[in-house]
Amino acid sequence: VVTNVVREQTETSNVIAQTDRGNPDNVVMTGAHLDSVFEGAGINDNGSGSAALLELALQMKRAHPRNQVRFAWWGAEEAGLVGSTFYVNSLSQEEKDKIKVYLNYDMIGSPNFGNFIYDGDGSDFDLAGPPGSAATEALFEKYFNLREIASEGTQISFRSDYAQFFEDGIAFGGLFTGAEVLKTEEQAAKFGGEAGVAFDPCYHSACDDITNVDELALEINGDAAAFVTSWLSLSTRVIDEEIAAAEEAEPAAGARALQVEQKHDITHWGDKWIK
């Protein structure tokens, strides 16, 4: 076994920008991480998400959002989600409450890509995001359906910068085109590409260079990011309605969970009880 390890204390930065226009008390936040692993340039992971976010920010200069849009390019994601975790933990509760949703783009140009949407409603992997996440997933699905492009849910794995937003109860969503997992026969039939090969064979490797991005994947998912961000910049009603319904149902849900606890093992996650 050969290892190549650098241990040193250093500093990194998040880059945060937001629109001048829009309601500052109703923020749509979107982010991608800037850093790569030591082994390579990280052009797909995550130059793809960072570049798409930068183009979206440039295009937003001409827009007139009703809700403020905030852009974040995170530092030190590969070191353990350091930048995004620090940012969320540094916010007061009042500031967190102003963030209506967080949208994450991490690897959206994988060469053997699939079109994956974070499973906000828990229908695919039995873990739903905070209230508002299901409505966010549905907006991404709407984009893919309008373009008649295949998509499917991806697991909430807490491997990217949405993790601390989730932990703090902020609705989230986002896109992912696959990393080291092998594409199945069914996924190859759905998305094209090669079954039995990783979605990104250069994941966390030196070959994640400028040749390691599929331009079609980047175009599709970059447009999806623009579609959902633009929609929510004008109205977050679908998220507001889901949050309001969850708040109305919470006392009853809590009573039911306590009854279930007497008969079954359950897990406590934040302020929610999950069977």
Backbone torsion region of residue 196, taken as left when φ is above 0, otherwise alpha when ψ lies between -120 and 50, otherwise beta: left
The terminus-to-terminus CA distance of the chain in angstroms comes to 42
Alpha-carbon span 196 to 130, nearest angstrom? 34
**Cβ neighbours of residue 255 under 8 Å, at least 6 residues apart?**
none
Length of the chain: 275
Q: With contact defined as beta carbons under 8 Å apart, do 73 and 141 qualify?
A: no
Q: With contact defined as beta carbons under 8 Å apart, do 45 and 109 qualify?
A: no
User: What b/e string do you get for 104-122 counting C-beta neighbours within 10 Å, with b at 16 or more?
Assistant: bbbbbbbbbbbbbbbbbbb
Task: For residue 77, indicate whether it is catalytic.
Answer: yes
The token duo for 181 is 């997992």
- Phi first, then psi: what are they for 75, rounded to 5°? -95, 155
**Cβ neighbours of residue 2 under 8 Å, at least 6 residues apart?**
none
**Cβ neighbours of residue 73 under 8 Å, at least 6 residues apart?**
14, 15, 16, 31, 32, 33, 34, 50, 53, 54
Alpha-carbon span 234 to 229, nearest angstrom? 9
Q: From the candidates 77, 78, 137, 148, give the one annotated as an active-site residue.
A: 77
Q: What is the DSSP letter of 173?
A: E
Catalytic amino acids? Answer: 77
